[in-house]
Structure 1
Amino acid sequence: MKKIFILATIALLIGCKENTDSSAKLTTGTKEITLEKIWDGTFSPKRMNALNSMNGNFYSLLNTDKETKATTVDKYSYATLEKIETIVSSANLKELENFSSYSFNNDETKIILGTNFEKIFRHSYKGTFYAYDIASKKISLIGKEIQEPVFSPDNKKVAYAKDNNLFIKDFSRNKITQVTKDGKKNSIINGITDWVYEEEFAFVRAFEWSKNSKHLAYLRFDESNVPTFSMDMVGKGNYPDQQVFKYPKAGEKNANVTLHMYSVSSRNSKKIALGKYEYIPRIKWSNDADVLVATTLNRHQNNLKLYKVNALRANSTLLLNETDKAYIDITNNLTFLNDNSFIWTSEKDGYNHIYHYDFNGKLINQITKGDWEVTRYYGFNKSKKTIYYQSVETGSTNRGVYSIGLDGQNKKLLSNENGQNTAAFSKNLNYFINTFSSSEIPPIYSLFSGEGEMLKVIKDNTELKEELEDYKMSPKEFSTININGNDLNMWMVKPADFNENKKYPMLMFQYSGPGSQQVGNKWNAANDYWHNMLAQQGMIVVCVDGRGTGFKGAEFKKSTYLNLVKYETEDQIAAAKKLAERSYIDENNIGIWGWSFGGHMSTNALLKGSDIFTTAIAVAPVTSWRFYDTVYTERFLRTPQENPSGYDDNSPVNYAEKLKGNYLLVHGTGDDNVHVQNSYRMINSLIEANKQFDMFIVPDRTHGIYKGKNTRLNLYTKMTNFIHENLNKKSNKSIEIKG
């Protein structure tokens, strides 16, 4: 079989059999990893451009012509991976010099081109958009400073949002119809989600065309009673700008969200009753052109309902009701088949699996089963009656791509067994491009058939692998550690010249948030190179995924329910103490660091585990869940009014007097996600307790703290020096930024 070819390529990359146990060794060179090299892209693997699957066996890419610098949308064949044609080039368009986004209509006769984007929040933008007719090569303006334009299925209209209202542009009559008129900033939003939906339910466009183009379903957000949050942005002028937006913190009022159905012919909207609910996190049209399915959740997020909404009658009936003792995660896995039966994923048997229901909500069968998690649902091939998915069947640190029959039979592994495999399927599911990597193998992009036959290696990053052989590098040693009755996944990075008769300071890294994973058999990210740099400078770096993290079943993930950070902190403290028993760990020099949820954790670990931790770095930490948003926080803690101890007993602002070690607190003042308020309150608590600490406040930077020249380099220089000054004192590795 041709699958042998990719295995041979992998063997060539690593030079020996892949393994992830403690005996794993990388070729070690003499060059030192530096922060400059980490952040200038020296170690970045080559990646494929994000491709858009097209009808048939084709895909498209957004490219830039090397000679003309024009932006192009190019069409390729999955079978050959060769370019077939250029669909559109900015060189041939007088109306716009370049474009940076594109999207097709259903039959791929038209394209929406976007340019001049202005960021709103993490995922939302407004920009200038044009409609381009491929056959006639004519282009026409849709609108400026608009959001989320999308063609109607009949190709005659485009719906879009602007200034919190919805509009429809009819190209056949060159007429714009305003669907809603009550939109107002920080008050009413039509068709676009508010801040908390965008961040926590992960979608921006909250309107959907019916398949016959007769109706437009949309969500309306009334956030007039949601408390307002503001941030001063220093900028470059004499006076700061103030960013003001509605942000519902835990226990506060959410936006009142309602579902509406707009009739294109009558130009009227009707509000749809959906019973009692707090959230509408998804809407999706079924294969019946007159029936929409809306998902609702209660405020505790443990009672989910699917409603069938009849667009003609403007009424709804219950389709499916699922409950959980803790909470239910929202996904995009709802898929309707030709007969309107549907595919659904659920954790109701204790692990996330795939189910098949009829359109009356009756279970037909559970398709996947076992003590393992389905991690992605890719789609259903109706001609083959086959479902494609990703799972952790070969271990929670691995990911494999599988196919299985609709009846739950004939399951087949399509990818490599170990490491991380992620598939990008063609629209018809006849092909997929598999991205494979492991802790020792950089990403390999390969073309597979839908049956799992490896057809061609596209990119293999051999050059990066060879370049890294010149650097001092150590492998991640994967294992498990039994902590508080659980076998927790762990990796450890030791110095290349490790001597078990010496003692080394240890730095622990974690995120620890619900359903997350840091201990995965995958290729290096930037932090991995930093950790390796620290290891070569005389440290041992360790990561342990404690209780509450993901991919080991619902019980393990939801064990922290109502006590967020309590058990996670206990696991990190216990792991540090157990590791300190090893002869080569310096039990008097153990530190911990993390970002966001991980920053909360590192702060807690230092304060509650002062008998083992001497040093901690917290970047953009939550310091009290009372300061964070409703959707995320209440999913795990319920409201502060219902569960005050769950909020306060593990919030470090309430026991700053416990600080004994070295503490570095980092935050960006432009963080609209975890507000700098968290760090300011922590600072005040530490001052009141008369505790000394270090802080690094970064003006105007958001949660990722990356925008601007040298921002990440400067931050990691600060953190590196802090670690060497307080934890790895023998190294004397104080660093200055060059240039």
Structure 2
Amino acid sequence: MTRKFIVGILFLFTSLSIVAQQKITLEEIWSGAFRTESMDELQAMKNTNQYTVLDFNRTSRSAQIDLYDFATLEKVSTLIDSKDFPELKSIDSYTFDKDEKKILIASNSTPIFRHSFTADYFVYDISSKKLTKFTDKKIQEPTFSADGTKIAYAFENDLYVYDAISGTHLQITNDGKKNAIINGITDWVYEEEFAFVKAYDWNANGTKIAYIRFDESEVPEFSMDMYNQGLYPTQEVFKYPKAGEKNAVVSLHTYDLKTGKSQTINLGDYKDFYIPRIKWTNDSNVLSVQVLNRHQNNLDLHFVDASSGKTTVVLNEKDKAYVDVTDNLTFLKDNSFIWTSEKDGFNHIYHYDKNGKLKKQITSGNWEVTNYYGFNEKSGMIYYQSVENGSINRDVYSIKIDGKGKTRLSSKTGTNDATFSPNFDYFINSFSSATQAPTYTLNESKSGKEIKKILSNEAAEQKLAKYGVSPKEFFTLKTEKGYELNAYIIKPADFDASKKYPVFMTQYSGPGSQSVANSWNSYNDYWFYMLAQKGYIIVCVDGRGTGFKGADFKKVTYKELGKYEVEDQIDAAKVIGKYDYVDASRIGIWGWSYGGFMSSNCILKGNDVFKTAIAVAPVTSWRYYDSIYTERYMQTPQENASGYDDNSPINHVKKLKGNYLLIHGTADDNVHVQNTMKMVEALVQANKQFDWAIYPDKNHGIYGGATRLQLFTKMTNFLLEKL
């Protein structure tokens, strides 16, 4: 062996030891050191074979909406640059009118709840390059009419229409009042659980607006003290219907801009119901309305004749547990429609005629459709995303509307998503996996063949490689009861099978959720890698009740939230505890929100298995959570008292043996700090010692300034001391 070769070997070992010594720090994680590049606000145009992206120039601190050509990926132009308009402080989001000649731009946004916000809005005329602020008010959810001459918007719980030609504002509702009446905007619980804010819609020719009115006068109020910087705290008060309490009374209305008249739509003999979606069909006189009963196990799709107000139920979905609301309702040119449903046990695509008669179940099999992208009228091809290639993966597919000619368009195993060009000739595929950082490529739609790379994140991969962490290993964990569950494990880079390691389990476990997914790292993942560097094995298991494995697997937890999911985490920990390289006396678990509910139950019901648990912003009794979410899975407390109480950690505090850290923000409008306060009182009265931390004025996300860094430092130190 030559001296040169020996020196080379020594250099290699030295380099490897240096790599092994590089440690991930919390300061790096929460300063954004591992942030990846993405295509922000990517939108496909409707009329030209182009797409737009919102780009931010960190040097000039300006934002641009840039236009690109799908076929060449060449930048066509910058539609607008905020630095050219001093009044435009930022570009937070944007939408086009139907002709794509004007842009509605949100700036200076102020968040309200999870999805809702007010903002200053501007109209930008692309050809004249003129920017107009059409109202001095901070408004909500403005949208163009079909001809682009009008903009509907909400302000202080009322609906308005701005006429760009005359420059006038028309108020079309007059009874809006905080904590009482809302027109065209959802209340808190609809926003959170049905995930939409804009509760109105323009018809196809811009002559009518349909909107939902919320009367929340009798909904109980919830209040939060805000400590702020003043001498005295202030109080936020809003309507929040908890499980079994009164919901807002909803009604459906249409407004005719030609006649100036409003009409109340009689939807039928419903006593306590939700309107989770409204959408005009391609017929400017026909409105589709989804009506859901309070138990959420019966959904009717209505077609409303806007002239007469007559309604017809064209489709009905029933389920012994609950029906999930779909966003995939799409009307074709002949007003037949695409619908997704899990009525055969898995979520699939269906085609109905304009009268609601089933024409074809387009997809089928023991796998789930997870996204519907669109229909190419010219080729008769439907494009969608599914988990056919394994429930932890996502792939892009095409299929003919008659159910034939299915083609897998994505080629890499991991998480694929697509944005299609208007003519469906191309799509931009976003891809990532547990070992590959996000990439964006241009692909052609017939075969999925990659044409060109647009953006990649090799730098993120290279940066992580310097730390020598071991990637997630995916596997199927089988419990002693015989349940096969998706799981992953992260081992220390210097893993030695002859040693015994402590295990830290992470999970969320909520209905239909997924934590074991073959996608690139989240901020939490970097924390897990950091803990692995400190000698912990990280394990994540998706138990029964989680999603993408069929309705039976997901809905087994119906009326018993916290029973089967907790059993599965305890049983999974028992299996892991038997691994030769695991110290079964040092198994911990954590979770946030539903995951905190779970980790709390686990250390109590599994007190002989778990040594340590951390619960962040947990539900501690479903009696304290909102009506729509809770009753979907539990019915009401009046109907199912044992389901609520048998699985509430508050009722099991006497079983606490291990180390328990409880964390909450006082301004959590979602999972109220009341949950933690009730848990604390129960633990105190049971004379149990535990640790807890309260974050003043922080919401469900517990962030802002140094908050996340301090929070994760606290949790890390707790684990180092207690596990």
Displacement, 1:101? 2.7
Matches of 1:129 and 1:219, distance apart in 2: 23
**Alpha carbons of structure 1 residues 70 and 460: separation in structure 2 relative to 1, 3 Å:** closer
Question: Equivalent residue for 2:346?
Answer: 351
Q: Deviations over 1:230-283 (max 9, x none)?
A: 101111111112111100000001100111010101111111011215100000
CA contact (8 A) 2:50 2:421 kept: yes
In the alignment, which residue of structure 1 is the partner of 2:571? Answer: 574
Q: Deviations over 1:645-675 (max 9, x none)?
A: 0100000111211111100001011111101
Q: Is the 8 A contact 2:90 2:108 kept in 1?
A: no
Q: Is the 8 A contact 1:197 1:203 kept in 2?
A: yes
**Which deviations, in whole Å up to 9, do the C-alpha atoms of 1:664-712 show, x marking residues without a partner?**
00101111110111000000000110110000111111111112x2111
Task: Identify the residue that residue 372 of structure 1 maps to in structure 2.
Answer: 367
Question: Secondary structure of 1:530's partner?
Answer: helix
Q: Is residue 394–residue 417 contact of structure 1 (8 Å, CA) maintained in 2?
A: no
The DSSP-based 3-state class of the residue aligned with 1:404 is strand
Write the distance in 2 (CA, Å) between the matches of 1:689 and 1:178.
Answer: 57
Partner of 2:37: 46
Within 5 Å, give how 1:150-189 maps onto structure 2: 150-189=143-182
Q: 2:297 aligns with which of 299, 302, 308?
A: 302
Aligned equivalent of 1:88:
80
Distance 1:66 1:618, change over 3 A: closer
1:134–1:244 distance in 2 versus 1, CA, 3 Å: same
Specify the alignment match of 1:732 in structure 2. none
1:568-598 deviations in Å (ceiling 9; x for gaps): 0011111111211112111111111000000
Distance in 1, matches of 2:440 and 2:86, equals 37
TM-score (norm 2): 0.95
SS of the counterpart of 1:657?
helix
Residues 1:542 and 2:552 are matched in the alignment: no
The letter for the 2-side match of 1:624 is: S
Partner of 2:125: 133
What's the counterpart of residue 714 of structure 2?
A: 718
Does the CA-based 8 Å contact 1:251-1:639 persist in structure 2? yes
Q: Which amino acid aligns with 1:147?
A: Q
Once the two structures are superposed, what CA deviation does each residue of 1:196-249 show, in whole Å capped at 9, x if it has no partner? 111110111011111111110000000000000010111111111211110000
Q: Give the whole-Å Cα distance in 1 for the aligned partners of 2:300 and 2:424.
A: 30
**Matches for 1:544-623 after TM superposition, within 5 Å:** 544-623=541-620
SS in 1 for 2:33: coil
Deviations 1:105-150 (A, max 9, x none): 0001111122222111111111111222223333333222111111
Stretch deviating more after TM superposition (239-248 or 50-59): 50-59
TM superposition outliers: structure 1 runs of 4+ over 6 Å: none
Q: Determine if contact 1:30/1:470 at 8 Å carries over to the other structure.
A: no
State the one-letter code of the partner of 1:215. Answer: K
Going from structure 1 to structure 2, the CA distance change for 1:409 and 1:28 (only over 3 Å counts) comes to: farther
Alignment partner, residue 58 of structure 1: 50
Matches of residues 118-267 of structure 1 in structure 2 within 5 Å?
Answer: 118-143=110-135, 144-267=137-260
Corresponding letter in the other structure for 2:112:
I
How far apart in 2 are the matches of 1:412 and 1:110?
A: 37
Shift of 1:30: 3.1
Structure 2 segments unaligned to the other structure (5+ residues): 1-17
What is the alpha-carbon distance in structure 2 between the residues aligned to residue 182 and residue 578 of structure 1?
Answer: 60
Q: Distance in 2 between matches of 1:91 and 1:544?
A: 48
Aligned CA distance change for structure 1 residues 44 and 89 (closer, same or farther; 3 Å):
closer
Partner residue, 2:323: 328
Query: Which amino acid is 1:84 matched to?
Result: V
Q: For each residue in 1:292-333, what CA deviation from the matched residue of structure 2 results, as whole angstroms up to 9, or x when unmatched?
A: 100010001010010001111122111111100000111210
| Percent identity between the two aligned chains | 58
Contact 2:544/2:553, CA 8 A, preserved across alignment = yes
Deviates more, 1:652-661 or 1:608-617: 652-661
Q: What is the alpha-carbon root mean square deviation over aligned residues?
A: 1.4
Q: Name the residue aligned to 1:473.
A: 469
Cα distance in 1 between the residues matched to 2:715 and 2:488: 21
**Contact 2:65–2:81 (CA<8 Å) still a contact in 1?**
yes
CA distance in 2, matches of 1:130, 1:533: 45
Q: CA deviation at 1:437?
A: 1.2
| CA gap 1:28/1:541 in 2 versus in 1, 3 angstroms | farther
Q: 1:601 to 1:102 in 2, by over 3 A?
A: same
- Does structure 1 retain, via aligned residues, the 8 Å contact 2:39–2:54? no
**More displaced 10-residue stretch of structure 1: 374-383 or 60-69:** 60-69
**1:156 deviation in Å?**
1.6
5+ residue gaps, structure 1: 1-26, 728-739
TM superposition score normalised by structure 1: 0.93
Contact 2:399 2:407 in 1 (8 A): yes
The structure with higher relative contact order (CA 8 Å, sep 6+) is 1
